[in-house]
Structure 1
Amino acid sequence: MAGISIPGVTDKYKTNETVEKLMQIERIPLTREQQTLETYKKQQDAWRDVNRKVSSLRDSVKSLYSFENPFNNKLTSSTEEYAVTATATRNAAYDTFNIDVIQAATADRFLTAELDEDTKVPAGTYTYKIADKTVTMRWKGGSLQEFSDSLNRRGNNLIKTRVIGATRGKKTLAIESLKTGEANKLSFEDDAKTFAETTGMIIKVKPKTISFGTARSELSAPPEDKISEQRRMPAISMKDIQVSGETITVPPRAGYKISIPDSVKELPNYHLTLTIMQKDTPDITVSLNKTPVAPVFPESGSASFRDITIRNAPVDASLPPEPAVKPEPLDPIETSAVLFAVMNDGSEKLIPTDSILTDSETKIDLNLSDYRGIDALVFRNRNTGKTFTVSSTEAFNPNENLGFIPQHPITKAGDAIIKYEGITIRRPENTIDDVVPEVTLNILDKTEKTAKISVKPDVESAKDALITFVGKYNQAIGQINILSQNKQELIDEMDYFTDEEKKAQREKLGMFLSDSSLNTLKSNVQAITQARYPFNENAEITMLSQIGIATNASSYSGYTPSKLRGYLEIDEKKLDAELEKHLEDIKNIFGYDTDGDLIIDSGIGYKLNKQLTAYVQTGGIFALKTSGLDTKIKASEQKITRLESQMEQKEADLRNKYGQMEGALNSLENQQTTLSNFSNRGNKE
């Protein structure tokens, strides 16, 4: 039987090949449109890429003149960083100051005695108090670790506990206040107090008070007052002072000194207290102003006999003549500065007593840790119309007045105490931000010697920002060059490109050769970076080239094609020197106010930002380019869809026609074979 041919399958007459060749001709418009679409997409990607690079440059430019510009950044340094460090805001003034750390702020941290590791904490209500805040836990009973875990969950950022292995088979429980400062002492109430006592964490103590300054024998004349006084004003003395019981009466222009017992000075954490009460008395300046400047002598007398009177010679005391001009009258004095601490070096420190001129009794509380080296107290009543009643002085430990003291303290609650330029300052926390304007001090430990804190400009961050700006600028210019010129060396010069990036850039080379917008942008930004910006008459730095940033910053005199492409170079040595000397000028050339309205309206950064924004903003030049290509891409995709549909129909028609033709040929061939077979059979017969 003759071979069977199925149209479109056996392809006996090569109809598939014929159809495919015909379709290749038919697909030429489709192929051309697909290539056009691919070109549109590559152009759109190129516009987006240059948009990203120019946007990145604009962001870098804005950072050089905005409020967050790096030229305002401040760096701090400390010569004693183990004890005190500092951070400064952008508004901090350049300054250098001295800090002595007397002590860092601490919190109460107490330990129990060593307990058996299987010790149980009894059920009860456990209350812990820090200042005016409390933590209360109703405990059902359990082990030390269970108690610690439960209390930590309820600690409310006030307290923290942990169980510490002491010796084999022994544990201790540590309870720690999370609030530093002398005012934030940890105290125990309810069953917490009982448990703390039974475990040896705290013990009862009796308050101990030492009184002194109640006997006249303890008083001595005050040191000479160094404050300049009015002429004829009586000197301060203790001759009119009266001591009665436990009070001292100090009339106008009187004073005394009390030495502090050595037993008190040697006690840590002690306070001194005394009370002062004032009473108005007749002002002594009234009577002093009535007192004659010179003595008045009586008449020398006379004798008379009949009509004759003989007068005695006037009294002659050989005194200097009365001054021609009478002295100025004395002015009354009223001051609250009456109490002073005498230090062991003889210097004096005023003890604030601002409220003593009121009608109420004033209590003075001195923390001896604030007056290290105190030797005595001096009371000087410089007032001319005030009499003061002063109580005896008492010394006590405020910790002991709680009735309990820790038996195994790790640390006790205390304020941070520092000296700023010799002024003693106390704060409850180790972060102090209200002493030096715009500077935060971080207290870590006691200083062995005076720490010098310096606030200086952050030159490194300014330099990094300028280097970033130059890098972004060159990337943007490089991309513009590649898109607007058809020179292979533009890509070869970019030594930071990877092989894949170079391949991708070759496809973009000269893509927008006929588009003037990129060349216009490049020309404008080059003009801006090369211009002068004299922000004031005395400006020393007005151009980028003066700080070592230019197209030929290295001052190389030979010909280099890359220098003609508009890239910026950095002379790092020159930049470092100018940043150290003219940081403020460099800041100003990037942005300054020309009309005094406090709004930056000129400078390299301002003008570059304005120029670049026109290209990268929503609705800007680059956006218009990409949106225009969007329209073309959509139209091309629609055309391709239509052509593809036409090609499918055309191919189907061709295959149908050629299939019918092949079927007809197969039929004729079969008929011919049948006739041949019939003829051959007849011949044999």
Structure 2
Amino acid sequence: MKFLLVVLIFFMIFLPFQGSYSQSSKKKVGVSEFFGTGLNTDDIVDKLVEVEGKKGEKYQQEISNQIIRKAIINFVEVNLRELRDLAKSMYDYRSPFNNRVGFSSDESIVKIIPNRGASVGEVRIRVEKMAKPDSFISDPLPIGTEIKPFRFVITMNEKSFEIDFKGGKLQGLVNQINDIAKDIVIASVVRIDKETEVLKIEGRKTGRDAKIFITGDVSEFEKIGLLTREKRIEKDSKELDVLSLFTTGVNLVLKERDEVSRDLSFLITSKTVIEISNSISFLPLPKVKDVDIRLMESVRVSNIEVKGGSPITTFDIFKEYITNDFKFIVLTFSDGNVFEVFISPSQPFLRVSLSQFEGRDIVKVVLRNGNDSVRIVFNRIFIYDKIDEIRRLSEYEPKNYISRAENAVIFVDGVRIERESNDITDVINGTIKVLGEDQRKEVRTRIDYDYVAITNSISNFIEKYNDVMIYLSKITKPIVDRRQLYEKPDEEKEEGSFSTDIEFTRLKDRLRMFAMQPYQTRSTNVRLLYHIGIYTKNINTKLDFESDLWEYVRRGILTIDSEILLNKISENIFVVADIFGYDTNNDKIVDTGFAYNVANICDEYIKVNGIIANKKKQIDNVIKSNKEMYAKFQDRLEDYRISLERKFGKLQQVLKESKSKQDWFNNQMKAISGKD
């Protein structure tokens, strides 16, 4: 009995200290499990903390609201920035009213690329001669021809490059020339047929002064027929310049499905050859067009007439295009025989013997192009008798010229112009690109306003203006739904989110006012956007207040009447430009206009430390404040939990002591009963 009494006294003394120690810890203690009283006070604490924690949800809700508001403001800022940039581009250095486009009656000969602000007008151009580079080839060589080592120098103008070739195949020589002298020439190997190839060297520059000189040890070049010191003596020789029969120019262009012919008389001998220099280019195939067959004619079946649309609306036209007809020259002889000259696209130079027709006359020559997407330019067509007698030249020169370095010669409105390049930039305010030549043809060119760029720029600007007005109307719409922003579905969060915001309402109203107010221009008859076909409502249109048109008018949405706009641009492009931006005091700075006003008010909102920047700063401060208050609330909530656990721990302790005393009393009673 004494032992039991000592144990009971020990527990009664120790348990209060242990409970107090455990309660001082900030970790959650399973009080019910520790005391084992059967009363679950832990769930009671959790429920009370949960109820108290709901008081802090207002901070999180406000943070959510402000995050949504900031996202909406960011979207407004992005759109205002885009609107500002489009507005400024209507009157600053990017103004579409300064764009120019060039037109040519024959772009295969001349193309015009005007600069911005170029004078509008017409120019007549005749191309007498294109600028050409020095270009020449070797004699035909067997594929795989080996070249011995040699050292030579290539010179153009004042640039010279020494090349020390160690020997090898033709392609190796080409690679070394292109590696060392790439600034002045382009070298290549051109395959003529399955067995032969030629070395081609062409200057990178055109013009009379861009002649190519090859000096040093040129013995290998002489062996392969690239250079020569021999020249045919034209005395007693017979030759015919075939191109001179067709054109007074230096070359002849045969377009797709083109054919020309001339009658002549030229006696063929055993030494007669035809020599051809040309270039062949492939053009893109025409696009397949759809044929509209929706309007089907009526069909009578027996005594019934059937009408209606076709079950299909379009079908494709399938056409076979010819791209491999390379018989470009046809010679007809006095005995009726015909000889077709086949020119491969890889053959810029061709020499063909006509000795098999000895004793007969050529009576007709036909130059033809039977292809749909191929063009050929003849630079030289000569028929002559090969002369055995030669003259020795003092210096080496190319043996087989494709073209000689020469200047471009054009006539602009009758004035002769000679330049070293085919891109002539100092005659008009822009570039004249010489692409072909025809001494007999005068090409009409014109510089005009770029009406497409102007209308596209106006359309893009007005479209962005409308986007901004629609969005501002949406976010400033009076609130009907009183739910918080975070409670609404995503598609409804923006509507009315800034219904009481003065700054956004002011922005919307001022933008609408800018679209309606008059502006100073060079014409007293054109002062409003309405005058150039841009309006919220046509004055001749009756307005139904329940229609979509009324909603557009109410929101300030602008409509473009393209026909009126184009007419006004055609009548006076400068007045249309003035509507968007105009310099009223001639100081070269735009100071009024619809686009000018729109750009300025956008700047007020999106500039550094502007209205939107301040709004975002305020929102950031609110978010920061609520985060801090929520953090403090969380600390208080944790303290509240600890307080509850301490209180309920004491309750559990009292219950435990009460139960212990009761058990002790019951045991005492049992002991007394046992003695009896």
Q: CA deviation at 1:195?
A: 2.6
CA distance in 2, matches of 1:414, 1:678: 134
Q: What pairs with 1:240-279 in structure 2 (closer than 5 Å)?
A: none
Q: CA deviation at 1:461?
A: 0.9
Deviations 1:600-620 (A, max 9, x none): 222222222222222221111
What is the match of residue 253 of structure 2? none
What is the match of residue 510 of structure 2? 524
Which of 500, 516, 526 lines up with 1:514 in the alignment? 500
1:204 aligns with 2:204: no
Q: CA deviation at 1:510?
A: 1.3
What is the match of residue 414 of structure 2? 422
Q: Tell me the amino acid that sits aligned with residue 430 of structure 2.
A: V
Which of 205, 223, 228 lines up with 1:179 in the alignment? 205
Which of 188, 191, 194 lines up with 2:219 in the alignment? 194
CA distance in 1, matches of 2:103, 2:644: 86
Q: CA deviation at 1:648?
A: 3.2
Q: Tell me the amino acid that sits aligned with residue 24 of structure 1.
A: E
CA distance in 2, matches of 1:38, 1:527: 35
Q: Tell me the amino acid that sits aligned with residue 82 of structure 1.
A: S
1:456 aligns with 2:448: yes
**Tell me, what secondary structure is at the counterpart of 2:205?**
coil
What is the match of residue 123 of structure 1? 149
Q: Given that residues 131 and 419 in structure 2 are in contact (C-alpha distance below 8 angstroms), is that contact kept between their aligned partners in structure 1? A: yes
Which of 522, 542, 545 lines up with 2:530 in the alignment? 545
Q: CA deviation at 1:130?
A: 1.1
Deviations 1:604-642 (A, max 9, x none): 222222222222211111111111222222222222222
Q: Tell me the amino acid that sits aligned with residue 194 of structure 1.
A: S
Q: Given that residues 65 and 587 in structure 1 are in contact (C-alpha distance below 8 angstroms), is that contact kept between their aligned partners in structure 2? A: yes
Q: CA deviation at 1:661?
A: 5.3
What is the match of residue 28 of structure 1? 54
What is the match of residue 282 of structure 1? none
Superposed CA RMSD in Å reads: 3.5
**Tell me, what secondary structure is at the counterpart of 1:623?**
helix
Q: Tell me the amino acid that sits aligned with residue 545 of structure 1.
A: Y
Q: Given that residues 32 and 39 in structure 2 are in contact (C-alpha distance below 8 angstroms), is that contact kept between their aligned partners in structure 1? A: no
Q: Given that residues 520 and 584 in structure 2 are in contact (C-alpha distance below 8 angstroms), is that contact kept between their aligned partners in structure 1? A: no
Q: Given that residues 129 and 249 in structure 2 are in contact (C-alpha distance below 8 angstroms), is that contact kept between their aligned partners in structure 1? A: no
Q: What pairs with 1:71-220 in structure 2 (closer than 5 Å)?
A: 71-191=97-217, 193-205=218-230
CA distance in 2, matches of 1:637, 1:556: 55
CA distance in 2, matches of 1:134, 1:169: 34
Q: Tell me the amino acid that sits aligned with residue 129 of structure 1.
A: T
Deviations 1:479-503 (A, max 9, x none): 21112113799xxxxxxxxxxxx96
Q: Percent identity between the aligned chains?
A: 24
What is the match of residue 386 of structure 2? none
Q: Given that residues 229 and 393 in structure 2 are in contact (C-alpha distance below 8 angstroms), is that contact kept between their aligned partners in structure 1? A: no
CA distance in 2, matches of 1:149, 1:675: 115
Q: Given that residues 554 and 570 in structure 1 are in contact (C-alpha distance below 8 angstroms), is that contact kept between their aligned partners in structure 2? A: no
Q: CA deviation at 1:518?
A: 1.6
CA distance in 2, matches of 1:668, 1:581: 106
When residues 505 and 542 of structure 1 are mapped into structure 2, their CA distance, relative to the original with a 3 A threshold, is: farther
When residues 471 and 477 of structure 1 are mapped into structure 2, their CA distance, relative to the original with a 3 A threshold, is: same
What is the match of residue 571 of structure 1? 561
Q: Tell me the amino acid that sits aligned with residue 486 of structure 1.
A: P
When residues 653 and 585 of structure 1 are mapped into structure 2, their CA distance, relative to the original with a 3 A threshold, is: same
When residues 662 and 594 of structure 1 are mapped into structure 2, their CA distance, relative to the original with a 3 A threshold, is: same
**Tell me, what secondary structure is at the counterpart of 1:508?**
coil
1:39 aligns with 2:65: yes
Which of the pair has more CA radius of gyration? 1
TM-score by length of 2: 0.64
Q: CA deviation at 1:77?
A: 0.9
Q: Given that residues 520 and 578 in structure 2 are in contact (C-alpha distance below 8 angstroms), is that contact kept between their aligned partners in structure 1? A: no
Deviations 1:483-539 (A, max 9, x none): 2113799xxxxxxxxxxxx96452121122222112222222222221112323x44
**Tell me, what secondary structure is at the counterpart of 1:128?**
strand
Q: Tell me the amino acid that sits aligned with residue 41 of structure 1.
A: I
Q: Given that residues 127 and 134 in structure 1 are in contact (C-alpha distance below 8 angstroms), is that contact kept between their aligned partners in structure 2? A: yes
When residues 198 and 519 of structure 1 are mapped into structure 2, their CA distance, relative to the original with a 3 A threshold, is: same
CA distance in 2, matches of 1:596, 1:634: 51
Q: What pairs with 1:637-656 in structure 2 (closer than 5 Å)?
A: 637-655=627-645
Q: CA deviation at 1:576?
A: 2.2
Q: CA deviation at 1:94?
A: 0.3
Q: Given that residues 407 and 421 in structure 2 are in contact (C-alpha distance below 8 angstroms), is that contact kept between their aligned partners in structure 1? A: yes
Q: Given that residues 117 and 171 in structure 1 are in contact (C-alpha distance below 8 angstroms), is that contact kept between their aligned partners in structure 2? A: yes
Count residues in correspondence: 482
Relative to structure 2, which stretch is displaced further, 477-486 or 14-23?
14-23
**Tell me, what secondary structure is at the counterpart of 2:213?**
strand
Q: Given that residues 482 and 508 in structure 1 are in contact (C-alpha distance below 8 angstroms), is that contact kept between their aligned partners in structure 2? A: yes
When residues 49 and 9 of structure 1 are mapped into structure 2, their CA distance, relative to the original with a 3 A threshold, is: farther
Q: Given that residues 205 and 403 in structure 1 are in contact (C-alpha distance below 8 angstroms), is that contact kept between their aligned partners in structure 2? A: no
Which of 424, 436, 439 lines up with 1:445 in the alignment? 436
CA distance in 2, matches of 1:110, 1:65: 52
What is the match of residue 323 of structure 1? none
Q: Tell me the amino acid that sits aligned with residue 414 of structure 2.
A: G
When residues 620 and 206 of structure 1 are mapped into structure 2, their CA distance, relative to the original with a 3 A threshold, is: same
Relative to structure 2, which stretch is displaced further, 53-62 or 115-124?
115-124
Deviations 1:277-314 (A, max 9, x none): xxxxxxxxxxxxxxxxxxxxxxxxxxxxxxxxxxxxxx
Q: What pairs with 1:260-659 in structure 2 (closer than 5 Å)?
A: 403-436=395-428, 438-447=429-438, 449-486=441-478, 504=490, 506-536=492-522, 538-553=523-538, 555-559=540-544, 560-655=550-645, 658=648
Q: CA deviation at 1:664?
A: 7.1
CA distance in 2, matches of 1:635, 1:653: 27
Q: CA deviation at 1:654?
A: 3.6
Relative to structure 2, which stretch is displaced further, 427-436 or 549-558?
549-558
Q: Given that residues 229 and 394 in structure 2 are in contact (C-alpha distance below 8 angstroms), is that contact kept between their aligned partners in structure 1? A: no
Q: Given that residues 154 and 181 in structure 2 are in contact (C-alpha distance below 8 angstroms), is that contact kept between their aligned partners in structure 1? A: no
Deviations 1:349-405 (A, max 9, x none): xxxxxxxxxxxxxxxxxxxxxxxxxxxxxxxxxxxxxxxxxxxxxxxxxxx988344
When residues 204 and 530 of structure 1 are mapped into structure 2, their CA distance, relative to the original with a 3 A threshold, is: same
Q: Tell me the amino acid that sits aligned with residue 546 of structure 1.
A: H
When residues 402 and 618 of structure 1 are mapped into structure 2, their CA distance, relative to the original with a 3 A threshold, is: farther
CA distance in 2, matches of 1:202, 1:150: 18
Q: CA deviation at 1:73?
A: 0.7
**Tell me, what secondary structure is at the counterpart of 1:110?**
strand
Relative to structure 2, which stretch is displaced further, 122-131 or 467-476?
122-131
CA distance in 1, matches of 2:659, 2:566: 95
What is the match of residue 226 of structure 1? none
TM-score by length of 1: 0.64
1:67 aligns with 2:53: no
CA distance in 1, matches of 2:426, 2:234: 35
Q: Tell me the amino acid that sits aligned with residue 502 of structure 2.
A: S
CA distance in 2, matches of 1:207, 1:435: 41
Q: Given that residues 431 and 443 in structure 1 are in contact (C-alpha distance below 8 angstroms), is that contact kept between their aligned partners in structure 2? A: yes
When residues 680 and 568 of structure 1 are mapped into structure 2, their CA distance, relative to the original with a 3 A threshold, is: farther
Q: Tell me the amino acid that sits aligned with residue 115 of structure 2.
A: T
When residues 268 and 93 of structure 1 are mapped into structure 2, their CA distance, relative to the original with a 3 A threshold, is: closer
**Tell me, what secondary structure is at the counterpart of 1:173?**
strand
Q: Which consecutive unaligned segments of at least 5 residues does structure 1 have?
A: 211-261, 270-399, 490-501
Q: CA deviation at 1:96?
A: 0.6
CA distance in 1, matches of 2:663, 2:183: 105
CA distance in 1, matches of 2:639, 2:393: 104
Q: Tell me the amino acid that sits aligned with residue 514 of structure 2.
A: I
CA distance in 2, matches of 1:158, 1:89: 29
When residues 145 and 7 of structure 1 are mapped into structure 2, their CA distance, relative to the original with a 3 A threshold, is: farther
Q: CA deviation at 1:151?
A: 2.1
Q: CA deviation at 1:92?
A: 0.6
**Tell me, what secondary structure is at the counterpart of 2:493?**
helix
Q: Given that residues 31 and 42 in structure 2 are in contact (C-alpha distance below 8 angstroms), is that contact kept between their aligned partners in structure 1? A: no
CA distance in 2, matches of 1:16, 1:151: 92
CA distance in 1, matches of 2:101, 2:133: 30
